[in-house]
Amino acid sequence: MPPPSDIVKVAIEWPGANAQLIEMDQKRPLSSIIREVCDGWSLSGSEQFALRYADGPQLYITEQSRGDIKNGTILRLAISPARAARQLLERIQSHGIDARLEALKELAKLSADPTFAAEFINMEGIGTLARLVESGTHFGEMLAFTLTAFLELMDHGIVSWDLISLSFIKQIAGYVNQPMVDVSILQRSLAILESMVLNSHSLYHRVAQEITVGQLIGHLQVSNQEIQTYAIALINALFLKAPEDRRQEEYTNPLEQHLTEMASSLAQKHLRSIILNHVIRGNRPIKAEMAHQLYVLQVLTFNLLEERMMTKMDPNDQAQRDIIFELRRIAFDGENDPTGTEKRKAMYTKDYKMLGFTNHVNPAMDFTQTPPGMLALDNMLYLAKVHQDTYIRIVLENSSREDKHECPFGRCAIELTRMLCEILQVGELPNEGCNDYHPMFFTHDRAWEEFFCVCIQLLNKTWKEMRATAEDFNKVMQVVREQITRALAMKPSSIDQLKTKLRGLNYSEILRLRQSERMSQDDFQSPPIIELRERIQPEILELIKQQRLNRLCEGSCFRKLGNRRRQEKFWFCRLSLNHKVLHYGDLDESPQGEVPFELLSDKIPVSDIKSVVTGKDCPHMKEKSALKQNKEVLELAFSVLYDPDETLNFVAPNKYEYCIWTDGLCALLGREMGSDLTRSDLDTLISMEMKLRLLDLENITIPEAPPPVPKEPSSYNFTYNYS
């Protein structure tokens, strides 16, 4: 008979004594259990003790967290959080340097524990640490441990960042500004400044006044990618929290010294080229967190376009209308305008028609829809000014055609700008966990405008290849969108490489790719083929099921999402080889390969699993309101619900792992596998098997004999390319 669900069997350790093996009744008060354990070792004052996990983060166990204890867990008797906090507070203020160093080292480790942190903060511990930093008397390891403890304590959100003094900020900024400073101190200082900016509006201004562009550029030129990552993260934080009016003002103003001028700085060649040459094109592979920070920087840079994208043109604004006049003048060399008002008006109307505007009389009306608003006009003017020969060629070669195949430049430019804004998600916040940055956007000071110029030439070329008319406008735009998205997926490293990729994706190639993709999904609708497919499908589904379960047995590493993503914490989960138990446990770093079952301290019997939920139905997605706007994390989340009322929460590293795990868990529970990956694999493998069986056969006759014996899974060697 299995033990009651309220009883867990654990081992409890105490230094110098044999471990106690007890059955912990989860209905009994924790203080009563601790008293019993202390009596077992003849320890008095049980109120001065507490239980902690012996492995992993070694967190304190409280009445609120005791439900996480599983059978077979190893615990450790330790001094209580209050007593530990009091002792450490006394030791870090002692005169002995060695004693103080050891105390700070222990404090840095314990500060991640929320129970200990609450006790230490209640004893004014954060103020003590701040004064130690402000004194300027700590250096090396002692200072590094002090800053680590401070950051860990603040991250619990118990104390407001607004209480931080100006002298503390200046001291931390001083460490960042020093030319030679210990790497660990620099990392923590950059992380503290980033947290200040992200968590306090008032501290944003103070930090921005202390840190200059020059100092952060220096940190981008080092060989340590961790330092580079922290530096770009601070840039992103300041950029993200900059007031809207300041951002747009800075987008056009010259470079100034302080990071309150974020957008202007990012637009400057020096900073951009430093990121390109020392980070993107450095000799080291880009790690996941650096890729995320580059993605965030890319998104925030493009978001500077949002105001122009959402600004309607004022048809009565003469300055704005002058831009349209300039477009006409450059295209048609209108220096010798007729003197008569009526003649000029008639000629302008003709020119605006040849320019491809929808409203020939007043083309300003074409820019009143948002998006793309005035951003489309900005792009057109950039093309006309910077790539004048290209602009004139596009306009004149289409305006001179009389076979109804002319490509309307104005209409196309406006629609293309809207499309590019959608593809690059201009105006949307960065997604947590997304690493989708494009190196080519860091290769040019006016990357957005250059991207537009390449794409408008592509559109004009595709229009001619399709021999399109005005009625085909939407079809052409669909093809162009496909060309651009396919080229971007190849991650071109420069604008020139983008041009090369697009040349290979002409209209004929798009048709070939579409036909190939349709052929690979073609089920052949004749009755014999349908019957053959129905016979094949069960064995293919079984093959896919076994592949999913095998992948679960290999296991996967998952990242714990915290307040500071660069201090990553990982955990690993894998299915036992007999498919009866899910093993999981925390890891200090991302593993290389398989993790042995012995290192995974926690487990869940598959028989206890009640269901698998995904997306917004997951408990950890309901708890985190900040993730509501983060569609990507929501789409990668899933949870295992098991008896009695427990959950194991996941956020998959990518869509492929999400499909593998959700399908595998459904297969484990005897439920239908319904992911896009399974549907894709099913279609691909059935098509492959059918082609093999139909090879050299002119007429298909389905015999009355039983279905063929399923092939061994090893006979199918298929590789995923899922993104």
pLDDT at 723: 34
Q: Give how far Cα 339 sits from Cα of 305, 322, 325, 329, 472, Å.
A: 39, 18, 16, 16, 39
> Nearest CA to 477 among 427, 399, 420?
420
Interatomic CA distance for residues 310 and 373, integer angstroms: 6
Report the residue count for the chain.
Answer: 723
Q: What pLDDT shows up at residue 338?
A: 52
pLDDT of the residue at 88: 96
- What CA–CA distance (Å, rounded) separates 311 from 324? 16
Name the DSSP class of 581.
Answer: E
CA distance 341 to 581: 86
**pLDDT tens digit string along 207-233?**
989 987 777 888 999 999 999 999 999
Sign of the Cα torsion 332, 338, 339, 344 reads negative
Structure tokens at 183: 């790497």
Residues of the chain with pLDDT under 70: 1-5, 244-269, 334-345, 402-403, 519-526, 529, 561-568, 623-630, 690-723
Task: Give the Cα separation of 681 and 228 in Å (integer).
Answer: 40
Q: Nearest-CA neighbor of 566 among 4, 108, 155? A: 155
End-to-end CA gap in the chain: 48
Nearest CA to 230 out of 238, 215, 220 is that of 220
The letter for the amino acid at 146 is: T
Give me the chain's average pLDDT, please: 85
Gap between the Cα atoms of 548 and 659, Å rounded: 9
Element of type H or E holding 556: strand 556-560
Which residues have C-beta within 8 Å of that of residue 473, sequence separation ≥ 6? 408, 411, 415
* 297: Cα within 13 Å, side-chain hemisphere: 29
- 541: Cβ–Cβ under 8 A, 6 or more apart, which residues? 673, 682
d(C-alpha 175, C-alpha 716), whole Å? 58
Q: In the prediction, which pLDDT does 336 show?
A: 53
pTM of the model: 0.74
**Hey, is 259 helix, strand or coil?**
helix
pLDDT given at position 280: 95
Pairing mode, strands 569-575 and 556-560: antiparallel
